[in-house]
Structure 1
């Protein structure tokens, strides 16, 4: 019989007071909660401490990947569960995680299926479900890549094991905030690719944009998500256009 491993839930946040209470409530059963803040001006710290979580700050922002790396270094548990403030662990997912803690395989990474909220509807099509993300893993064996945005866990040759239960993700509660976030992601994506020496043609802007709409609406059956599915297909096309147009612009800007 094996001993149950200790779980550290890790978050990186900034001005997430509105979302943090429900998030931390959903993981209050964990052995440890680590919150790394990047300069909040709201009640994020106060709420964090109310839950008995450990609060740290790092305002030297170098991208999502490196911020997650730093947050993980503060954790003392055997197993890391990396989540965001706009995510909630469902009761079924909690049961799956607790089962894993009874017999953790250090060579395995566990994926969580996200159920994403978009304009009042939890999307079960459009390529948004189960939207699996690798978030549960042994602290000593894995860490996040250095990506500026859309960071991912460096899993190497590890086996990926899907867990039952949903990670509820409040993706889009406010359309304007969602659009601003999408634009910032597109800018970071373009800058990172530009720094890597990547470029794209003008034709690529158009083809990727149309492809994004077609993929979401038709191939990923976004039409089954009703009006929200159609809007999401348009949003995905717009996001793709912004990414590639920004990369094209960076490659063609005038040299001073």
Structure 2
């Protein structure tokens, strides 16, 4: 008998993206959406698509919110999905094959094809960009990280699935930049709370390293104009997060 699949999403003000994300997983046994306080019609769209909707506005970070959302699921397996992601038909077939013949103790990685300024990237560290998203509900959960959360699955066997998640990472550059700045701030605050420090030299070393890694080591130059631009964006993101950490170390970012 096939295992049941719960698709789980967290959302806030995702009305412009949500319908297509949900349509790509309409074949799942159930869809769970945990909203963190949308003031657009995110909740209405989710309910119209047949999702079970819950609301929790006590935001404590991505890891905690994902785990809260997972707690509402009843399926044997979880597929954790973002509202700006789409499951391709090939990936759907691979997931359904897992449900037909499950392997206990296995967590499945999925390749993301990331969209950046008019192009789905093939290099630059943005493909295959594998993420751990399909797993047994009762055995695995997310950590409590504020940003760049991860699935706690140290003893699991990792198996790569065929097929891609289409990830609309950067459709609008200004919105993408705002999101990147929020990530950088959360990253710096978390590291500061853990006692991490950085020097002025370290800021520029990490920034230059991020640019060179994206462009050369990760093949960004093969992605053409977008590869060069992404290398600059990654360097900027790195500069922002380490500069914020430097400022927090010295009390320059304390609120009055």
Pick the TM interval, shorter chain.
over 0.9
Report the alpha carbon displacement of residue 51 of structure 1 after superposing the two structures with TM: 1.0
After superposition, the C-alpha distances for 1:86-141 in whole angstroms (9 at most, x for unaligned) are 00000000000000001222211000000000001000010110000000000000
- Extract structure 1 runs of 4+ deviating beyond 6 A: none
| d(CA) in 1 for partners of 2:104, 2:182 | 35
| 1:189-204 correspondence runs (5 A) | 189-204=187-202
1:11/1:84 contact within 8 Å kept? yes
In structure 1, the residue matched to 2:183 is 185
In structure 2, the residue matched to 1:135 is 133
| d(CA) in 2 for partners of 1:133, 1:117 | 16
1:239 counterpart = 2:237: yes
| d(CA) in 2 for partners of 1:8, 1:104 | 15
In structure 2, the residue matched to 1:58 is 56
| d(CA) in 2 for partners of 1:106, 1:196 | 35
In structure 1, the residue matched to 2:5 is 7
In structure 2, the residue matched to 1:151 is 149
| d(CA) in 2 for partners of 1:175, 1:133 | 23
Report the alpha carbon displacement of residue 49 of structure 1 after superposing the two structures with TM: 0.8
Q: Which of 16, 31, 42 matches 1:44?
A: 42
| d(CA) in 2 for partners of 1:109, 1:199 | 34
Q: Which of 78, 97, 104 matches 2:95?
A: 97
| d(CA) in 2 for partners of 1:221, 1:45 | 40
Report the alpha carbon displacement of residue 50 of structure 1 after superposing the two structures with TM: 0.9
1:16 counterpart = 2:31: no
After superposition, the C-alpha distances for 1:145-201 in whole angstroms (9 at most, x for unaligned) are 000011110111111100000100000000000000000000000000000111111
1:106/1:141 contact within 8 Å kept? no
Query: How many matched pairs?
Result: 254
| d(CA) in 2 for partners of 1:207, 1:104 | 46
What SS class does the counterpart of residue 148 from structure 1 fall into?
coil
RMSD: 1.0
Q: Which of 211, 221, 224 matches 1:223?
A: 221
Q: Which of 2, 22, 25 matches 2:23?
A: 25
Where structure 1 has 5 or more consecutive residues not aligned to the other structure, the ranges are: none
Q: Which of 156, 163, 166 matches 1:165?
A: 163
In structure 2, the residue matched to 1:120 is 118
1:81/1:137 contact within 8 Å kept? yes
| d(CA) in 2 for partners of 1:27, 1:134 | 17
Q: TM-score if structure 1 supplies the norm length?
A: 0.98
Where structure 2 has 5 or more consecutive residues not aligned to the other structure, the ranges are: none
1:108/1:161 contact within 8 Å kept? yes
